[in-house]
Amino acid sequence: MTANLLDYDLEGLALYCDQLGEKRYRAIQLFRWIHQKGIAHFDDMTDLAKSLRDKLAVSAHVKSLEVISQHISSDGTIKWLFNVGAGNAIETVFIPESDRGTLCVSSQAGCAVGCRFCSTGHQGFSRNLKMGEIVGQLWFAEHFLRNHLHRNDRVISNVVMMGMGEPLQNYDELVPALRVMLDDHGYGLSRRRVTVSTSGVVPMMDRLALDCPVALAVSLHAPSDDLRSNLVPLNRKYPIAELMESCSRYLVHAPRDFITFEYCMLDGVNDQVQHAKQLVSLVQKHASDGVWCKFNLIPFNPFSASGLLRSSAEQVQVFAGILTDAGIVTTVRKTRGDDIDAACGQLAGDVKDRTGVAGRMARQRTMMLKPVSSFNHVTKES
């Protein structure tokens, strides 16, 4: 089997080239062709020696993921569903804004954490994505968008690991993928423009601080252990106090940064005045340990199996007001791509669930998706 070069960071590619008897600067050239120019065919890499191109042609390839569907929302959000084999699909979402382009990337097919409000969590865990499948989402989206928008410069300025899966439970594949994103010969994204979102895998947060201290978002969702354990089962293993201590250690390695606490607003569950006040005391208690933070309140994206409802806009405002009045920077996430379900595991859930009545309904819904036969044609949904 030939090697997929998307599975290598620059160091890995240098080692690979060394085995072919090639110098390091050749690996850099190759890496730049792949990631900066989006070229997959070795014959198009014109400044590589013919002898190297011949060697690569028999030993390697550059292959991204197979697109199942592509949807573009009226607000410009694009969602891709990729086939990762064995009936599993993952999703990637591009969110354009006036000053940035953000790509939301998946790290696993399914997720083992099983949060109550998360449709990916309800699917269960299928498998970890390979490094090349994580980077492949960025490779595909960046070069697709450049072609589509007729741009030569960078389209994606930010990456958030907020698609399907718990990135810190796929650490060994995640970190080299992050390195490619940050590498000046790769995508050249700055450390603060790449965000890892975690449900709180404390030992891995500590490792990430040492290995690759990118921006960190922590999915908090509750101010007390009782409630958090109910919503995020991993809290039983790593309770809030340990999580906070790990956040403070993280910031030692990411100076002048802050932690973003994500908080999914669930009607009547975690959105009451008392919860906001408890959060304020929690943050104040840990501020002296150096946990600088901001809050991002996420309106819940409902799905029937959860039995949960989205908080009203008024309740979200009241909640945000209490945090803001206490001096905590708080934003409410805009819902983007609502018309194409571009939030957290919804569409991929339809594809994975292929058994029984739910499966038949899912298949019907899946068939309604427009297949992408050519990447040059983006279908605009009304």
Please name the amino acid found at residue 98: S
Distance CA 106, CA 170 (A): 11
Per CB under 6 A, which region of 36-44, 117-125, 129-137, 140-148 contacts ligand SAH? 117-125
Per CB under 6 A, which region of 108-116, 131-139, 187-195, 355-363 contacts ligand SF4? 108-116
Residue with Cβ nearer ligand SF4 (62 or 111): 111
Per CB under 6 A, which region of 54-62, 84-92, 116-124, 281-289 contacts ligand SF4? 116-124
Choose which of 199, 311, 330, 366 interacts with ligand SAH (CB under 6 A).
199
Catalytic-residue membership of 264: no
Choose which of 142, 300, 337, 353 interacts with ligand SAH (CB under 6 A).
300
Residue with Cβ nearer ligand SAH (334 or 370): 334
What are 147's two structure tokens?
């072609």
Residue with Cβ nearer ligand SAH (29 or 169): 169
Smallest separation, CB 90 to ligand SF4 (Å): 11
**Strand stretches in 74-232, DSSP E:** 78-83, 89-97, 100-104, 108-110, 125-128, 158-161, 194-198, 215-219
Strands 158-161 and 108-110: unpaired
Choose which of 29, 64, 219, 330 interacts with ligand SAH (CB under 6 A).
219
Quick one: which of 174, 182, 159 has its CA closest to 35? 182
Residue with Cβ nearer ligand SF4 (113 or 323): 113
Choose which of 166, 271, 350, 353 interacts with ligand SF4 (CB under 6 A).
166
Are 343 and 335 in contact by the 8 Å Cβ rule? The answer is: yes
Choose which of 118, 145, 244, 351 interacts with ligand SAH (CB under 6 A).
118
Does 269 bind ligand SAH (CB under 6 A)? Our answer is no
Quick one: which of 91, 85, 101, 95 has its CA closest to 69? 91
Does 198 bind ligand SAH (CB under 6 A)? Our answer is yes
Choose which of 10, 65, 103, 113 interacts with ligand SF4 (CB under 6 A).
113
Does 204 bind ligand SAH (CB under 6 A)? Our answer is no
Quick one: which of 166, 95, 103, 111 has its CA closest to 135? 103
Within 10 Å of residue 287's Cβ, how many Cβ atoms?
14
Please name the amino acid found at residue 51: S
Choose which of 73, 158, 197, 235 interacts with ligand SAH (CB under 6 A).
197
Subset of 121-140 contacting ligand SF4 (CB under 6 A): 121
DSSP string of 47-61?
TS-HHHHHHHHHHEE
The CA distances from residue 84 to 89, 133, 163, 166, in Å, are: 5, 8, 14, 17
Please name the amino acid found at residue 359: G
Are 194 and 157 in contact by the 8 Å Cβ rule? The answer is: no
Are 280 and 328 in contact by the 8 Å Cβ rule? The answer is: yes
Distance CA 137, CA 104 (A): 9
- Select which of 91, 166, 173, 262 is catalytic: 91
The CA distances from residue 351 to 2, 35, 133, 362, 382, in Å, are: 29, 29, 18, 7, 22
The residue written with tokens 């910031």 in the block is: 251
Smallest separation, CB 118 to ligand SF4 (Å): 3
Choose which of 12, 101, 114, 132 interacts with ligand SF4 (CB under 6 A).
114
Q: Which residues bind ligand SAH (CB under 6 A)?
A: 117-119, 162, 166, 197-199, 219, 262, 264, 298, 300-301, 343-344
Give the catalytic positions in this structure: 91, 344
Interface ranges with ligand SF4 (CB under 6 A): 111, 113-115, 118, 120-121, 165-166, 199, 219
